[in-house]
Amino acid sequence: MTMHRLKNVLIAVLMATGTLTGATAAAQANTLDSILEVGESKNQAARESQRKIDRLADEARDLLSDYKSVMKQVDGLKVYNSRLERQIANQERRIAEIDESIEQVTIIQRQMTPLMERMVDGLDQFVELDVPFHMDERRQRIGMLRSNLDRSDISVAEKFRQVLEAYKIESEYGRKLDSYKANVEIDGVERDVNILRVGRIALLYQTTDTELSGAWSQSERAWVPLSRGAYRSEIMKGLRIADKTATIDLMNLPVAAPEAM
């Protein structure tokens, strides 16, 4: 009886032990799956983190490259701005100088008009007292100058240039040989003559038939007849030289002696 009970207890223990072992194995299997899932989850998280790290590293490299590029542009702009500042300072100095020059020009313009009037008056007086050659042309030039002085459409600079040009023309008269036709009163009769001008030192005439000759006397302010045949050939030669039909040569002409001032 007792042995039978022990058998039953042993069978019961073995059955219980088998049941417990199965349950433990099942629990261990579940635990392993959980561990594997956690490991996979951690690996997935690690991969995601690595991708984020790689992306952030790429962005950081791009930002660093952009920063370096921007800094180079900034350095270039600093140099460019520095040069512009020097140029602007120089331009401001030039503007100040120009403003001052404009003020001076205004003052000069106010002074130029009376100066030009005096110059034209002086030129007019000089022409009237000078040897009387090309008088119509010279008087017409002075009349034009006086007319232009009153014109508002001509600048002061242009007016002054014209006055200086007239002075230059008068100056060149004293260095040139010239001939032209004119009318001269000889013995109360108007005669056609050829005029020979040698600078301002001699002004002579010869009738078209070459018979009569004369010279301008600046002291008498009149034409003085020359002896017949005295300078006939020399005046003819001078006329040919002035007309460029003869080569330049020495001429024996009546020239008034210089007067003491």
Give me the number of domains the chain comprises.
2
- Residue 203 in any domain: the answer is yes
Q: Which domain holds residue 228?
A: 176-253
Last residue of a domain, one of 154, 173, 192: 173
Cα separation, 78 vs 85, whole angstroms = 10
- Residue 94 in any domain: the answer is no
Can you give the length of the chain in residues? 261
Quick one: 114 and 169 in the same domain?
Answer: yes
pLDDT tens, N- to C-terminus, the chain (261 residues): 555 555 555 555 445 555 555 556 666 667 767 777 777 777 888 888 888 888 888 888 888 888 888 888 888 888 888 888 888 989 888 888 877 777 777 777 788 889 999 999 999 999 999 999 999 999 999 999 999 999 989 998 899 999 999 999 999 999 999 999 999 998 889 999 999 999 999 999 999 999 999 999 998 999 999 987 788 999 999 999 999 998 988 888 888 766 554
- Residue 41 in any domain: the answer is no
Quick one: 186 and 133 in the same domain?
Answer: no
Quick one: 226 and 182 in the same domain?
Answer: yes
Cα separation, 164 vs 183, whole angstroms = 31
Quick one: 202 and 219 in the same domain?
Answer: yes
Last residue of a domain, one of 148, 173, 198: 173
Structure-token pair, residue 95: 């503007």
- Residue 17 in any domain: the answer is no
State the sign of the Cα–Cα–Cα–Cα dihedral 60, 63, 69, 75.
negative
Contact 207, 230 (CB under 8 A): no
Which pTM value belongs to this model?
0.60
Cα–Cα–Cα angle for 115, 151, 103, nearest 5°? Answer: 55
Quick one: 245 and 196 in the same domain?
Answer: yes
Structure-token pair, residue 94: 């030039």
In the chain, DSSP assigns E strands to 177-186, 189-198, 202-207, 213-217, 222-225
- Residue 56 in any domain: the answer is no
- Give 180-234 pLDDT, tens digit per residue: 999 999 888 999 999 999 999 999 999 999 999 999 999 899 999 998 778 899 9
Last residue of a domain, one of 156, 173, 190: 173
Residue reference for tokens 């030192």: 201
Contact 131, 173 (CB under 8 A): no
Quick one: 112 and 162 in the same domain?
Answer: yes
